[in-house]
Amino acid sequence: MWWGGAPSILKGWFEKIFACNFAWGMENMYDKGLLRGKKAAIFTTIGGDNHEYSADGEVHADITQVLHPYHRGILAFCGIEVLPIHEIYEVEITTQEMRKKYIEDIDTIVKNFDTCELIQKF
């Protein structure tokens, strides 16, 4: 995450690739989106701790609420089945051992991508 959303290079990629008549169209949004049958998940690192991303934390929202525009406004809008967000908090102070565990967890998720539980399915 960068300033509560995607880094500008990723946002630019969305804007260029998820174009009208490729990913969506006036008659082709959400359950009729042109990228139906695809799945996506967001993996993100966060400098703050998980309490900051809660209703009573500094952000006053959890990570799902913060990234809702990406889940619903981009991915689901184009018909993509959306998996839960996978976040790593306090990334600047993680140990090498913790990073190794995070990578192993991500590897397991990616290897089992087809059987992951979806947040949004059309």
Beta-carbon neighbour count of residue 35 at 10 Å? 19
* 53 carries an active-site annotation: yes
Distance CA 3, CA 34 (A): 30
From the list 4, 12, 51, 60, the catalytic residue is: 60
From the list 4, 12, 47, 73, the catalytic residue is: 47
Q: What are the helix (H) ranges across 1-122?
A: 8-17, 63-66, 68-70, 96-111
* 51 carries an active-site annotation: no
* 33 carries an active-site annotation: no
From the list 53, 70, 71, 79, the catalytic residue is: 53
Q: Looking at the annotation, which residues are catalytic?
A: 47, 53, 60
